Structure 1
Amino acid sequence: MAKQKPSTMLKLLKTLIGVSVIAAASIGATLLYYEKTGLGLASAESPADAPPERKAVPLPAPIFIPLDPFTVTVRNENSQRILYVAITLRTADDPSRRMIVEFMPEVRDRALRKLAEQQPDRVQTPEGRQALVATLSKTLQDPYLPHSKGPDITSVLFTAFVVQ
C-alpha cells in the first residue's frame, strides 16, 4: 500500500501542474487577443495614446418635395387600366429643391409622360416599380432649360400606388 500513495500523489501533482499550464496558456492567449484588438487593459490605462475622438457630423435634414398625385390610363394590347400614383422626390440640396419647385409644370409633365408609357402588368411587380423609379429619376434629373445641369434627386418615393 505504500506504493499506491506516492502514485496517487504523483497523479494529483501532475494533474494540478497540467491544469495550471492550461489556465496560464488560456489567460495569456486572452490577454494577447485583447491587446491586439485594442480592448486590453493597456489601452484603458493610457488614454493619452488613444486617438482623439471625432465629433459626430450632423447629417443635413432630408429635403422632400411632394408632387400632386397622378391619375393615368395605362394600356397593354388587351386592356386599359387606371394608374393612380403619388410621388415624393428627395433632393440632395436646396438648389435642387428650388429648381424642382420653379419648374414644377415641366417636372409633372415629364413624370406624367413616363407614367403613361407603362404597361399595367409590369408596374404591378416589384421589378417593374423599381424600373419605374429608375426611369423617373433619370428623366426628372435631366436639365431644365436654360440650366445646363438638372436637379440632384437622390430618391423617387411612391407614397400611393394603385392600379385598377
Structure 2
Amino acid sequence: MAAKSRFARFAINLLVVLLIILISVGVTLYYSWKQDSRPSWATWGQSSAQASVANPLPAAPPPNTEKPIFAGLEPFTVTLNEHGRARILYVGISLQVPDDNSRKIIQEFMPVVRDRVLQILAEQIPSRIQTPEGREDLVHSLSKGLQTPYEPTNVAPRINNVLFTAFVIQ
C-alpha cells in the first residue's frame, strides 16, 4: 500500500509540474502572437522562404541614387504695370528635368525658352505674384508654357519643377 501511495504522490507531482509547464508555454505563445512577433522556434521546420512569407518584414524603400538634373536660366528683369504704376520684377529660374534629353532640348532652344519665360512674366500682376498662391500659379504657367513643343521640330522638354533662385519685385 505504501508503494501505491508513493506512486500516487509521484504521479500527482508529475501532473502538477507538467500542468505548470503547459500553462507557461501557453501564456508565452499567447503574448508572442498577440504582439505579432513569432519566436524563432515557432518557425522551426519551415523553409526560410516559408518563414519569410509567414512573417514578412516591411521592405525598405530603395535609396534614391539618381542625382537631380537642372537647367539654369540667366536671370530675367521685367517691367510690370499695375494700376498705372511701373514695377520691376527680377527673377532667377532653374528648371528641374527628369532626363538629360530634356536638358539638352532646353539648351538647344534657349532663345525660344527665354522668350516664352519673358512673355509669361510680362503678363503677371505684381500684387498677385507676391502671394504664395500667385507664385504657384506662375510656376504652373511657366511649366506649361515651356513644355509646349518647339517649332519646327515639335520637340518639347519634360519639366518636373520650376524653381525660383531669385525673386524680387520693386
For Structure 1 versus Structure 2, the TM-score category normalised by the shorter chain is 0.7 to 0.9
C-alpha distance in structure 1 between counterparts of 2:39 and 2:134, whole Å = 55
The question of 1:145 aligning with 2:166 is answered no
- Identity percentage over the alignment? 47
Is there any run of 5+ residues in structure 1 with no aligned partner, and where? 1-20
C-alpha distance in structure 2 between counterparts of 1:74 and 1:116, whole Å = 6
Which residue of the partner structure matches residue 90 of structure 1? Answer: 96
Q: Which moved more, 1:48-57 or 1:102-111?
A: 48-57
Provide, for residues 56-106 of structure 1, a one-character-per-residue CA deviation record: whole Å limited to 9, x for no partner.
365422110110000101111242210000000010111111000000010
The partner residue of 2:160 within 138, 154, 159 is 154
The partner residue of 2:79 within 51, 73, 78 is 73
Which residue of the partner structure matches residue 118 of structure 1? Answer: 124
Provide, for residues 102-135 of structure 1, a one-character-per-residue CA deviation record: whole Å limited to 9, x for no partner.
0001000000110010000001000000000000
- 2:62 aligned counterpart, secondary structure: coil
C-alpha distance in structure 2 between counterparts of 1:58 and 1:124, whole Å = 34
Which residue of the partner structure matches residue 5 of structure 1? Answer: none
Which residue of the partner structure matches residue 35 of structure 2? Answer: 34
AA matched with 2:157: P
Pairwise CA RMSD: 2.8
Look at both structures and tell me which one has the larger radius of gyration over its CA atoms.
Answer: 2
Q: How many residues align?
A: 138
Q: 1:76 to 1:32 in 2, by over 3 A?
A: same
Which residue of the partner structure matches residue 130 of structure 1? Answer: 136
Is there any run of 5+ residues in structure 2 with no aligned partner, and where? 1-22
The partner residue of 2:67 within 51, 61, 65 is 61
TM-score with structure 2 length normalisation? 0.70
Q: 1:44 to 1:98 in 2, by over 3 A?
A: farther
Query: Cα offset for 1:32?
Result: 1.8
C-alpha distance in structure 1 between counterparts of 2:30 and 2:86, whole Å = 71
